[in-house]
A and B are shown apart, each in its own frame.
Chain A
Amino acid sequence: MTSRRLAPYLFIAPFFALFLVFSLFPLVFSIYLSLQQWNPAEGLHTMHWVGLENYGYALTDPWFWDALYNTAWFALVAGVPQHLVALPLAFFIHRRFKRGRDLVVGAYFVPYITSSVAIALIFTTLYSKDYGLINAALAELTRIPFIGSPLASLTALKDGGGIDWLGDADVTRPAVAFVVFWRYLGWNLVLYLSGLQVIDKDLYEAATLDGATEWQQFWHVTLPLLKPMMFFAVTLTIIGNLQLFEEPFILVDGEKGVSSSVMTTAIFMYRTAFSDGDFGTASAMSWLMFVLIAALTWVNARLFGRDPRSRHGSR
């Protein structure tokens, strides 16, 4: 029989044991790694202290800055629209959908639960230059009068030549960003819907009595009350997008470096460690990214006027 005083410690012990071995120790170890250098072919015994050299090396590597730029670009272009679309969409579904609502929300959420690898693979075929469905659909659209010809000149679809979505550096980044947007839109929609559900209906009634239009209600009632949820959702997007790996990795074969325009810092880190065997520099990069994520989360907390520590506050 377990004593009542000892029991709680016993019950939480497995988590903390796993946390120590597989999370905390690796993290501390990675600080140590980031200050070391060794020859991967010769083994760990060639390890020697280099101080901050790895950090300096990463920070002066133009590839690192390119990767950082790509990552920031993805965070903005794949991230901001997720919220600009999900928020009004959630508001509209919340106010107008009664029947069929679960079905619609379910459809928006499905991409989030499906395998990112399977998704990247299907998009690879849809994006195919000569035979992909997306170019076929665009070509079809150019035949429509009025919108057709401007579209054709805009997208260089004339003469049946399709857009090389995953090969042309100019369009590859937006193409990959779209897949990320597509995948996480439903997640944000669900977050905002659950935020909307806890807003008191009386507030809308009072606003309606005061003659507020629906737009005014959205702006003056919904948005301010949704601020905590916006903070939560935007934080998740920042953390998620700055770690972007799978979508560009599979869509544009990030391993072989076919397209440096979509190489994110996470992919660059992976390559530095596992292709070049430079674990020290890769660890230094991970800590540089950590500082960046922490800083952005802090800025986000300031913007939304809320202390991040209070998010999980006592309840």
Chain B
Amino acid sequence: MARAERHWPAWLIVVGGAVLLVAPLYFTFVFATHGRSEIFDNPPPLWFGDAAPSNLRLLEERLPFWRNLGMSLYVASMTTVLNLLLCSLAGYAFAIYEFRFKRTLFAIVLGSMMLPAFMHMIPSFMVMDALGWIDEPRALYVPAAASALGIFLMRQYIGSAIPPDLIDAARIDGCGELRIFWSIVLPLLTPALGTLGLITFIASWNNFVAPLVVMRSAENYTLPLALRSMQAPNNTEWGALMIGSAIAMLPLLVAYFFSARRLVAGLTSGAVRG
């Protein structure tokens, strides 16, 4: 074990770094259970308190919190379901079929990934305005309904997991193209759909800029926007804000806990073979 001993400082750094990285999240949950005055005690609380119920009541007073939570859930779910359907369809087309302009069209898909997001901010606002979608949840989920990254990931997966013979066999049996996709291919894509679903849900759940630009009324705010709106120059209710943040993070942390390995692999699979 001489080797391991020689490296104990490095071990300490790696594990210490991991602890430091998780610490702020830990404090979100600790502060969520303390009132405003305790959070700013000196030293601040390091362990859980009993103010969670009163923090939650404060949060409900200040925000239409459950409606905001529902709005986040609705937008993220719609975005995810649409993405799973549309990205697997397009990924399937790019992986299995031969057709004219296939390479060019796929290059457009990849190229669209490179466009900086803020380029869209102003013109999409004006498009939404022209469509009359300002303050409407569909302004959030329709533009995000199919992502280039999703198509890329699905194409990679379908190319390696679906044998072309299977599709030919189905065709010989007289199965239509859409039917093949829906009844034969889609069920085989479950692992990739899980990864893509999680990535999409997380991105939509955490999105801040798009709702900031298009959502107007406090009832239609998604969670990140609602939480930020509680920040006041002098009398921010930090306890309430922290329990709101904790509730906003909890679903993601739980989902992450159960799928960390697959999620990480899925996120980087596009890059690994690059």
Contact = CB atoms under 8 A, between A and B. Distances in A.
Q: Which of A3, A119, A125, A270 has the most CB of B within 10 A?
A: A125
Contacts, number: 275
A118 B27 contact: no
B22 A110 contact: yes
Interface stretch (A9-17, A62-70, A73-81, A145-153): A9-17
Interface string B105-129: 1001110101111111111111100
B189 interface: no
A175 B89 CA distance: 44
A190 interface: yes
B154 to A, nearest CB: 11
Contacts of A279: 122, 126
Interface string B75-87: 0000000000011
A195 interface: yes
Nearest to B272: A194
Interface in A215-246: 228-229, 232, 239, 242-243, 245-246
Contacts of B43: 133, 136, 140
Contacts of B31: 122, 125
Contacts of A195: 271-272
A115 B273 contact: no
B11 interface: yes
Given A11-B92, A114-B249, A239-B116, A229 B242 contact: no
B28 to A, nearest CB: 5
Given A113-B202, A228-B274, A286-B119, A121 B227 contact: yes
A11 B186 CA distance: 13
B181 interface: yes
A21 B142 CA distance: 10
A7 B27 contact: no
Contact of B24 (A9, A123, A242): A123
Interface string B124-168: 111100000000000000110110100110000000000000000
Nearest to B27: A122
Contacts of A104: 14-15, 18
A115 B86 contact: no
B238 interface: yes
A109 interface: yes
A131 interface: yes
Interface in A1-46: 1-5, 7-12, 14-16, 18-19, 21-23, 25-27, 29-30, 33
Chain B at the A interface: mostly helix, strand, loop or mixed?
helix
Q: Give the contact-size bracket for chain A.
A: 35 or more
A115 B118 contact: no
A182 interface: yes
Nearest to A308: B114
Given A12-B105, A131-B40, A23 B11 contact: no
A110 B242 CA distance: 18
B140 to A, nearest CB: 11
Contacts of B209: 245-246
A7 B208 CA distance: 36
Contacts of A113: 202, 206, 252, 256, 263
B87 to A, nearest CB: 8
Contacts of B59: none
Q: Which of A4, A26, A97, A194 has the most CB of B within 10 A?
A: A26
Interface string A106-130: 1111110111111101111110101
Nearest to A96: B7
B188 interface: no
Given A92-B10, A115-B252, A191-B268, A131 B42 contact: yes
Interface of B: 4, 7, 10-11, 14-15, 17-19, 21-22, 24-25, 27-28, 31, 39-44, 86-87, 89-90, 92-94, 97, 99, 102, 105, 108-110, 112, 114-127, 142-143, 145-146, 148, 151-152, 171, 176-179, 181, 202, 205-206, 208-209, 213, 223-225, 227-228, 231, 233, 238, 241-242, 245-246, 248-249, 252-253, 256, 260-261, 263-265, 267-268, 271-274
Interface of A: 1-5, 7-12, 14-16, 18-19, 21-23, 25-27, 29-30, 33, 89, 92-93, 96-97, 102, 104-111, 113-119, 121-126, 128, 130-133, 136, 140, 182, 185-186, 190-191, 194-195, 197-198, 228-229, 232, 239, 242-243, 245-246, 250, 253, 266, 269-270, 273-274, 279, 282-283, 286-287, 289-290, 293, 311-312, 315
11 contacts: A14-B89, A19-B108, A29-B127, A115-B223, A115-B252, A122-B31, A185-B21, A197-B272, A228-B274, A242-B116, A286-B122
